Structure 1
Amino acid sequence: MKASSSKAFCLTLLLACMVPASGREAPSITTSFTEFWSAAKGKPFLQQEHAWNRSIESLRRDVYDTVVWEKQHDPYWQARRQIWLQKRFERYPALAADIPVEVRALQDAVAHQSVRFKTLFPDADAHPPVTILLAPNFDAKSGVLGNGKPVLVFAVDTLLLEHANLDIVVPHELFHLYHAQHAGIRNDGVMPDAPLTLPLFEEGLATYVSGELSPGHTDGELLLEDELGAIPANQLPEIARRFLADARSKAIDPEHPDIFKRWFNAAPRPYQQGLPNRSGYWLGLQLIRHLRRSYAPAHIAAWSPEQADAQITAALQQVGSQELPSRQTKSAEAH
């Protein structure tokens, strides 16, 4: 078989593996969206919701229950779902024509980046369990299905709204899936009883890997926000010390949810004085670069949750106690 034909065959297999995460036969998300929107366009919300349930969710029940709405963790998921869906349905008139195009672009990016990913992590799944669907409350995330299997979910409509750079988003999320499968760090580190250091480690490492697989981007591009990329390097010790005050808090804490939010969530208003929202992503990336002085990426990625917690806590203490030399904002750095 010619090399070009072999590559095309591999890409075909990768695309074929992107089936509904529930494992049941279902139409493509493009077909489902077309059916939903033909019944919902211009209708009152309750009729739109009925069409959504019939054409979208009922065919992908497991992934919507466990990953999209996270019913197992959120006692208020029904109320949030109503609000999210109503707002998203209002956006579909402007999005509908472009969703099939974005689906194809996302499929191509997953196939291409999956091949590249194995050059960095040879033991990665050649056919990663990826699902493309519609969701109003995230753009992409790893999760765990009801049967305990990790899955990577891309919300094509949200990615379209964000004008997301798929060459950055896809490898970042592929790493989250790989990490869940090989190190047991699931839900992007936001796991029951996990300390806040775990999502810090997880997001920093995923961002680092995306820079390795899509080189030449600034930190602002890798972090999906120019304001994060503009944080001066000399603020690292202060930010590390600030995070240490929250480090033993739980990633999932219904009684104190603002602790996680102020480091990892986006919002119209700032959570912390003098810091942009989602600063945990920036801090995590800097700490991984600090750890890279001593460890290879594959070594770091193999750490158990307990090892990752210990290593990132030690790194926080080290960088928090001293001024570090300035670093360039390019992710492609000398190793």
Structure 2
Amino acid sequence: MVASSSKALCLVLLLASMASAFAADAPSITTSFTAFWSAAERQPFLQQEAAWNRDIEAPRRDIYDAVVWEKQHDQYWQARRQIWLRGRFARYPELAAGIPAEVRALQDAIAKQSARFKTLFPDADPHPPVTILLAPNFDAKSGVLRNGKPVLAFAADSLLLEHAQLDIVVPHELFHLYHAQHARIRNDGVMSDAELTLPLFEEGLATYVSGELAPGHTDSELLLQDDLGNLPSEKLPVIAGRFLGDARAKAIDVQHPEVFARWFHAAARPYQPDLPNRTGYWLGLQLIRYLRRSHSLAEITAWSPAEAQAHTLEALRQVASKSE
């Protein structure tokens, strides 16, 4: 009974720390959503947007500016925001009733997975800077606030819409946050001046870690996409060779955003006719498994951004050479 009570107390403290980690004076996101939707339901878009601005964004301005809309990186954020919000507001009639339960499920999953995460990474923050919010343009995302601190945001409405498996999503994203704090690989590897090998490494490693912390799942489940999990291993050398053609491209390139997109973006249309979208996630996972043959997980996790890019590029070359 004492151990059980201790665990319950730890859970309560962790949830309390999550609630206070951001926007200390902000109400819970469930309370904010209830206020927003009470004012916005069945109203014209401009009235809905005004309610959203007041109830959802204003109490959490820093994280919406820096992480959700990425105003510092996207000169077209206002136009994209309008499109995203219109689409999401149209879905809220079907989602509204389930959002409070999804928030509670997220809180529970974050608390449980944070404790499990420390068994693999003992130096992990016992109270990670995590926030739960609403966002139409992602389901979970690491980012950096204006003060330079890494944060992790979970979008309860997007996760509900996707029927996401939280035992996979949460450890994947907790790793991104941990890695940003300990190896300074931020924004899931999509950093200024980073080459495409860095997000390849970062997403592969986060997927690998989620498999370690949520055992028993197939690659399709870990990659959140059936056709990715069904890619045959025999195609690995050819896919690695094709990626090598893009490997030195910049992860952030406003002149050529299609290079990053064809490996990492989801979309209704295929970016490559013979490969599923988001194949970079699959390739990254295979490369981490390849690197694990000669490096420990602790060693790989400690690599700096430059070291990660160099090791990933070399692994790509070695794997691609097997097709010759």
Q: Distance in 1 between matches of 2:31 and 2:81?
A: 23
Contact 1:143 1:150 in 2 (8 A): yes
Q: Offset at 1:299?
A: 1.2
> Do the aligned partners of residues 105 and 51 (structure 1) sit closer, same or farther apart at CA in structure 2, a change above 3 Å counting?
same
Correspondence for 1:296: 296
Contact 2:22 2:131 in 1 (8 A): no
Contact 2:140 2:155 in 1 (8 A): yes
Deviations 1:39-77 (A, max 9, x none): 000000000000000000000000000000000000000
Deviations 1:271-311 (A, max 9, x none): 01210000000000000000000111111111000000000
Name the amino acid aligned to 1:106: L
Secondary structure in structure 2 of the residue aligned to 1:17: helix
Q: Distance in 1 between matches of 2:166 and 2:315?
A: 30
Q: Offset at 1:10?
A: 1.1
Name the amino acid aligned to 2:114: S
Deviations 1:216-252 (A, max 9, x none): 1110000000000000000000000000000000000
Unaligned runs of 5+ in 1: 325-335
Correspondence for 2:284: 284
> Do the aligned partners of residues 21 and 263 (structure 1) sit closer, same or farther apart at CA in structure 2, a change above 3 Å counting?
farther
Percent identity of equivalent pairs: 75
Deviations 1:291-334 (A, max 9, x none): 0001111111110000000000010000000159xxxxxxxxxx
Runs of 4+ in structure 1 over 2 Å off? 19-24
Q: What's the TM-score, normalizing by structure 1?
A: 0.95
Residue 54 (str. 1) matches residue 54 (str. 2): yes
Secondary structure in structure 2 of the residue aligned to 1:132: strand
Alpha-carbon RMSD across the aligned residues, in angstroms, is 1.1
Q: Offset at 1:18?
A: 1.4
Unaligned runs of 5+ in 2: none
Correspondence for 1:216: 216
Q: Distance in 1 between matches of 2:21 and 2:67?
A: 10
Name the amino acid aligned to 1:111: A
Q: Distance in 1 between matches of 2:188 and 2:17?
A: 22
Count of residue correspondences: 324
Q: Distance in 1 between matches of 2:120 and 2:228?
A: 26
Q: Superposition pairs for residues 1-335 of structure 1, below 5 Å? A: 2-19=2-19, 22-322=22-322
Q: Offset at 1:20?
A: 6.1
Q: Distance in 2 between matches of 1:138 and 1:268?
A: 16
Q: Which has the higher helix share?
A: 2
Contact 1:227 1:276 in 2 (8 A): yes
Q: Distance in 2 between matches of 1:226 and 1:20?
A: 37
Q: Distance in 2 between matches of 1:323 and 1:18?
A: 48
Name the amino acid aligned to 2:116: R
Q: Distance in 1 between matches of 2:321 and 2:213?
A: 32
Q: Distance in 2 between matches of 1:79 and 1:119?
A: 43
Query: Quick check: 1-10 or 104-113, which moved more?
Result: 1-10
Secondary structure in structure 2 of the residue aligned to 1:322: helix
> Do the aligned partners of residues 9 and 20 (structure 1) sit closer, same or farther apart at CA in structure 2, a change above 3 Å counting?
closer
Deviations 1:187-216 (A, max 9, x none): 000001100000000000000000000001
